[in-house]
Amino acid sequence: MNKSLHAWVRPPSRNFAHALSEHPKATSIRLKKARQQHTAYCKALKTAGLFVEVLEPLDAFPDSVFIEDNAVILEGRAVLCSMKETSRRGEISFLSEALQSHLPMVGLQAPVFIDGGDVLQTEDTVFVGQSHRTNKEALAALQSLTSKPVIPVAVQQGLHLKTSVSTLGKNLLVINPFQVETEPFRDLEWIEVDAEEAYAANCLSVGEHVILPDGFPKLEQRIQAHGFSTLPVDMSEFQKADGGVTCLSLLIEV
């Protein structure tokens, strides 16, 4: 049976403005605009060739729009994350209900703490950010579930590893070298992000398309120079909530 790539998304809930964030403009999140931006993001996913599965908003969980953090798709299984932030832990059960008929699932438990935004998978390696959301116990937990090497990466600034590093496939990365340890990526090719365009380091590659935040022309041109078609989307309200492009979807082969 031929499988197709689906993007699972969860729209912003009515309490999205209360999402966890250290962004200086966190108190100015506009829900109506966030919902409009999410709709445009879903349109970009479809343009990139993905089937989009829209789950119900979760009003009890302001951060639930950032569905990537809930699970890691690893070797045909959904690894349900054990989240350090107590206000987010209840999101996992709702995702497991949605996924149970599509993928086998494995649940992680404390003392393992991990957010999906700290897991970057390339063709040969699983890189795991060591951030304030993901601990060293997560390394062994993931290594027990994959034959690929699991490599720690120190997150020096920013929320997650994927805040500063994205994969475009074919061992090509987009990276902000000012915020993460770069030595683990020494054998890969990089597209570097200038400091003033740091937010755009989080982008989503789907085949020959790359979805990235709007308003970062230098990085967009560098990505295009590698033969990709770019799909810029307005992310201002999600940026205020410390979220990026990849955070808004969970990609699954169905």
Long-range interactions of 97-105: CB distance < 8 A, separation 24+: 98/8, 98/53, 98/55, 99/8, 99/71, 99/252, 102/252, 102/254, 103/73, 103/76, 103/77, 103/78, 103/252, 104/76, 104/77, 104/78, 105/77, 105/78, 105/79, 105/80
Catalytic-residue membership of 247: yes
Catalytic residue among 160, 203, 209, 226: 160
Residues 6+ apart with CB under 8 A from 57: 10, 11, 12, 13, 14, 64, 65
145-168 exposure pattern, b = at least 16 Cβ within 10 A, e = fewer: bbebebbbbebeebbbbbbbbbbb
How many alpha carbons lie under 13 Å from residue 246 in its C-beta half-sphere? Answer: 32
Using only the alpha carbons of the chain, give its radius of gyration.
Answer: 17
Catalytic residue numbers, as ranges: 160, 247
